[in-house]
Chain A
């Protein structure tokens, strides 16, 4: 868009003057970091989250989520010691909440690496302020997901048989089994995601190390920073590594859920046996993943006052992705129905008509799980359509509510696919119902506790925003920022920022007492005039007053 707009503009700067700068600002991109925040502010704000006194809400959150997380493990222990029977599965429905939750969490784990890798490769610079947290979320989601396939099996202590271990019986895993592909796909994805995430963390860990005041924190961050010195060589290697890992992760983003979908697509079960599953699952995963990113980031942004880095533009863009992927998913749902009908195969059609669509309103014999199907449809297909409207994308409350719908809807999607397909398949005599037990429910709730608890630990001990990368998208990081011909990067300065920043969310907002106290602390800890008075923003073009000047980690590249 920038290229297109500049192409239509006359080359002569004088000619530019005839445009009203404000109008031009409206057709160009808004800045990725608003309020004219400089590098120092970014460092302080992000590191402050780690360095300042733990806010009360964090403790509250931690003491709620940690026991819930612990409950997961207690229940999984109960499962291992007693048998799969403590869950509600039976013979027609041999997979239920376990695999539903697995696919649900794996799906959530998609957004992080997508944001980090694919958006990195496609030079989507807005990714910088959300990628770190999204990646962390990915890892935690994959951890939650990984619990299920590892522990849903009947003899958990024999799970090692899934590994291709050479043994004296010359028995190998069955390489035809999609479940085995899952093992490889998920473990690879997790490994690469961890590496990618950690690699990206290194410069920021160095920043934390350099700022650390405690003996132990200095030591720990020092070890984790792997001796980062911020030298040119460091940066060169770092960027190459990051690029390579991004390239490596990109196919994995697509492959993981494709392979998860093979669990179903390669089977003979009507409702599972569908070629549309791989793209449909990937789209669904991105859809659900972005919703979960927003679910986490919106409160974090509010609580830590990160509005200048996670701007309305970010929310807006992510809402658009949700709209897009939600519509793809909706298309897939409809196409699945069409194919089931068009195939002329009564078993297929029955799996959709009798097991899902038939609702009490228009059928004498409603599908037992019709409500799950309609939950899925309304949450996933209908609710994101509100994002066609800009006001909806710009209203964080609307966005948050829709994201919650999507989260629920995506869980129902997996439930619908798994349970409603197998509960009534070929032979009517074997039809059955699935009813979750308290262990099913509490284990699932427990994984949420685990997920949130890990996320809380993450925001408390690691920089939740990629400091170095965000600095990279600042104007001041752009050598051509002052260049009038630097159309691409300079426009925001020239036409947008210089004309006066558009601040969608004034800071500080009137917030809760907790938050206000927190902001006050941040202010006191750092230089007062950065935050306390928005009017005192640095004028454009001022040299960056970075407290960390001279410290290697504090500098943005370039």
Chain B
């Protein structure tokens, strides 16, 4: 555009003569004014004809020249746009996150959460510290559920199958269709309509359901969830009547016997169990009491790892243990009488009578303070037996309390009955809300075929998955719980709000939206339905008094839960027992004893993907299983002795053939501590239609499930299965975080029996404790360095302590760290190569007596950057990229790092992680073509591969943490962003005063915050009163590899075991360091499993000792 110079208006000269250049100026004619504005006199050549001026011409030419290549247009920096909030959002301070309370609906009740939102997008989830069940803690699944929100593969569109094939549609059209359907339902009361949903704990949903039932009385309600604890619920109802729930009180139990119960897995026991249990295990000083844990299980679980005494036992034979125990204690006579073949059953424990007897004695001694818990995989009869035992021992009402369920969920049909109805052509409209029945419904139902028989299948799904592919009329994208309004009861019954943090990213609907839509409500983004429920729950009378409803509602949202709304405790007595249970219609069937020709297969929920719903969650997929340390896969777990008997090694592919001929193919993983003649195959893997993350991972175990959960057999434990090595199937490559399972006699994880600890408390004259001197650290010669140690004169000195006595190894810290610190996932192939990026890992070691010992004990140890004061990584970095802060942090300057990897080599703890590829910017998917098709990931394509992180994934990133590029080293920073924020806060409150210190224990690192057992403590060491200083003063405190004189800032508190001296094998419990001088212990060698199976040591083992497998 031509710029016309605007002359400033001429000031009228008040006095004096006026000079003029021409008559035109004098007269101020328009021609003269134009002349002044023009660059050239009129008539001079100006390319005006087509709007071109000289200036335009120059501009165009200059621009063309630049575009023509001289400007190297291909080499410019990528453009990016920083868009400011043009209008300030209320409450939002730029750069500061907002925290909102919400809750995550889970199978056993919602988990209270606080969501951290940056610029309107949730970036991190924390437990709700106000809620007693959480106290700020969560579990790995809750942590990782955030990633699901930003999953680029989630269902993003409405699909309409009205024309025979699925076509893209939208929410308005669906709402229209739903309206039409509703009108047609009114005519027949919904008799041809079924609603299939998963277990929910939402009072609003229950209310809507009741209203729907009123409107359409013939509507069929079906609840199906493959991991629903149905056996327990059925037995509970039979034994204690309606509306009762049992709650084990681990905080009150001195002696705990867990029968196939993995209560330390939050999915099974909830956060409360972990917290209560660990509080009874925490030993702050000598003399503190510790509870004792006996575990009977078929495979190592987190709970088994914490056990003082563990008995390997095929899962189907737990009943035999329960029977033997009941007999020994003289309990449950009526139930025992009702069990067919009870004598034979009790005889199956031969060889372990002493174990059971001593456990029984211990339980008897702890009358009223003992607890027997049973896992959800066990048939109802075992639950009944356990309750009877607890009743006999006076534990009912003490360690096992009853809770009153205020609202009773109306009876729902089972999926088998639904299948019958479909086969009878009685279902024309089927709403599938959540779940994935085409993948996980009982195999014999042949769900995909069933689904095709229904005219109108409305699928509300988070993914377009197997169920979508099985044929639907409507596929409706489901909203994430962070996108929708809702409510739920927690495990303890607390009423919680589910608040959306963000509008549905892809216009998804929640279950509530859809059911309300069926009821005739308009879909909106408002919490009206929940408000109505809240109104009735908070003040049933409707009188909020001086506190207005709005005030109460706001407080509810702010706190995230309604105070004192938990289930009330009530007295319980064991009622009808077996009789009532049997009259429920379920014959008491018990699993036959497994033999080498007729094995049992245990179908367990997975620690990571649950029932398969999280299969496309990269964080969960890559997180190693806390016990097997496998990532990206499940495996058929068998004991090493069994592997030897069948000639199987890690990665061998086997066929598991059930009695009915169903065959499941899976690869073998040798799992130390597994019961013989028993195979564990976790559910949830081997899905066919998954997103880009979950594809091709693991083996599908669902085809083996051919019965309803309420039938005793074939639910979680499938008996009479034949195992055969699949001929010509080759070997399966597993990705494991940890190749080596033994500590090699090194004093890395220190454990000792409580008795020995009690005898060796305190410190010697050098200030060293018994624990600090264990193993080769007994004598550490003086160490002289030639370098000046780092200056540590900061106002704070940060440090961490990790109590191995309460750490269960649940992986929550690993997940929290990944979420907080923008840690990328690398994909299975890269994990196989040993390039996992986790800043924090949980090492798991097994200790055994000797190579033949089939009963190892497990030890967990969180390992992260130890922030050594004398850090070996710092001296070797040639470019000063890793340096020490005056507050004792080992810093990593990504900008300065050139990636020599020398620091990693010199790190004794191997906690540094290197970006071998641009994991954030490149695709980790396998190559789709070319010579390395399917074998290597697209990372190897380099610049030829796809580039860029999906936009949606970027939303998750923590803005306070750099997203690292390839070629740089990274590692734990002690959450420096949180430290700095706390320091800034302290500076702000200090103003002009000198008190710039961060208030004591006023903030937490991500791993500390999430830990359900408060095993991790972080804080300022200069403050003698801080939590971490207190913990580090304990005589159980030690530093890993202290002899290296690296002076780590992370210290550990030794693990204590609390064996019962009368138990068989008690003399070896907790003595993995004490009994094994360095380089003599060789027990773990047979546990060695590699990335490349067969390359390493073979598995040896004698017939199992201490196991029930006959």
Binding site for B on A (CB under 8 A): 78, 81-86, 88-95, 152-156, 158-159, 161-162, 171-174, 176-180, 183, 263, 266-269, 345-347, 349-350, 353-354, 364-365, 368, 422, 424-433, 435
Contacts and interface: CB of A to CB of B under 8 A. Distances in A.
A268 B1044 contact: yes
A180 B875 CA distance: 11
B900 A429 contact: no
B876 A266 contact: yes
A183 B878 CA distance: 9
Contacts of B969: 154
A532 B967 CA distance: 62
B916 interface: yes
Interface in B881-934: 896-902, 904-906, 908-910, 912-918
8 contacts: A82-B943, A84-B916, A84-B967, A93-B834, A172-B880, A429-B740, A433-B834, A435-B833
Contacts of A155: 897-899, 965-968
B916 A85 contact: yes
Given A91-B835, A433-B739, A154 B1046 contact: no
Contact of A345 (B776, B835, B901, B915): B776
A425 B740 CA distance: 12
Interface stretch (B375-383, B426-434, B471-479, B1087-1095): B1087-1095
Interface in B930-978: 939-943, 965-969
Contacts of A425: 908, 910
Nearest to A159: B898
Interface stretch (B6-14, B364-372, B1028-1036, B1077-1085): B1077-1085
A426 B830 CA distance: 23
Contact of A429 (B738, B912, B916): B738
A271 to B, nearest CB: 11
B876 A153 contact: no
Contacts of A349: 1079
Contacts of A368: 1095-1096
B845 interface: yes
A266 B1046 CA distance: 14
B745 interface: yes
A316 to B, nearest CB: 42
Contact of B902 (A177, A350, A364, A365): A177
Q: Which of A85, A92, A365, A368 gathers the greatest number of chain B CB atoms within 10 Å?
A: A85
B899 A427 contact: no
Given A91-B910, A91-B912, A365-B1088, A158 B834 contact: no
A91 B942 contact: no
Contacts of A161: 879, 896, 898
Given A90-B835, A95-B901, A427-B909, A174 B1097 contact: no
A365 B939 CA distance: 35
B1041 A426 contact: yes
Contacts of A267: 872, 876, 905-906
Interface string B560-573: 00000000000000
Contact of A174 (B880, B910, B968, B1085): B880
Q: Which of B906, B1046, B1095 gathers the greatest number of chain A CB atoms within 10 Å?
A: B906
Nearest to A430: B910
- Is chain B's binding surface mostly helix, strand, loop or mixed? loop
B107 to A, nearest CB: 32
A38 to B, nearest CB: 54
A85 B876 contact: no
B879 A162 contact: yes
B26 to A, nearest CB: 60
B917 A85 contact: yes
Given A154-B897, A368-B1095, A429 B845 contact: yes
Given A81-B942, A90-B835, A365-B1097, A429 B844 contact: yes
A179 B878 contact: yes
Interface of B: 738-746, 748, 776, 787, 830, 833-836, 841, 843-845, 861, 863, 872, 874-880, 896-902, 904-906, 908-910, 912-918, 939-943, 965-969, 1040-1041, 1044, 1046, 1078-1079, 1082, 1084-1085, 1088, 1090-1092, 1095-1097
Contacts of A94: 901-902, 904-905, 914
Contacts of A89: 901, 914, 916
Given A177-B902, A364-B1085, A428-B741, 4 more contacts: A81-B943, A84-B966, A95-B901, A428-B748
A522 B1085 CA distance: 67
- Is chain A's binding surface mostly helix, strand, loop or mixed? loop
Contacts of B879: 161-162, 171, 173-174
Contacts of A91: 834-836, 904, 910, 912-914
Nearest to A92: B910
Contacts of B880: 171-174
B777 to A, nearest CB: 11
A346 B742 CA distance: 15
A268 B1096 contact: no
Contact of A427 (B836, B843, B912, B1082): B843
Contacts of A428: 740-744, 746, 748, 845, 1084
Contacts of B835: 85, 90-91
Contact of A365 (B745, B1079, B1082): B1082
Nearest to B966: A83
Contact of B898 (A162, A364, A365): A162
Q: Which of B739, B787, B917, B1082 gathers the greatest number of chain A CB atoms within 10 Å?
A: B739
Contact of A154 (B877, B898, B908): B898
A136 B1090 CA distance: 45
Given A346-B745, A427-B908, A179 B899 contact: no
A177 B875 contact: yes
A354 B1097 CA distance: 12
A431 B740 contact: yes
Given A153-B898, A155-B899, A176-B787, A422 B905 contact: yes
Contact of A346 (B872, B878, B1078, B1095): B1078
B906 A78 contact: no
A275 B932 CA distance: 45
Contact of B744 (A88, A93, A350, A430): A350
A275 to B, nearest CB: 14
A84 B969 CA distance: 12
A20 B895 CA distance: 78
A177 B748 CA distance: 28
Contacts of B1078: 346
Contacts of B875: 174, 176-177, 266
Contact of B1079 (A93, A350, A432): A350
A498 B335 CA distance: 117
Given A82-B943, A173-B878, A174-B878, A269 B1096 contact: no
A429 B965 CA distance: 27
A176 B1091 CA distance: 37
A154 B834 contact: no
Contacts of B876: 176-179, 266-267
B731 to A, nearest CB: 15
Given A81-B943, A430-B910, A92 B878 contact: no
A427 B865 CA distance: 13
B872 A268 contact: yes
Contact of B843 (A85, A364, A429, A433): A429
A154 B878 contact: no
A440 to B, nearest CB: 12
A186 to B, nearest CB: 13
A177 B902 CA distance: 9
A174 B898 CA distance: 13
A83 B1095 contact: no
4 A-B pairs with least C-beta separation: A154-B899, A154-B967, A82-B942, A90-B834
A349 B913 CA distance: 27
Nearest to A78: B942
A177 to B, nearest CB: 4
A91 B912 CA distance: 8
B994 to A, nearest CB: 29
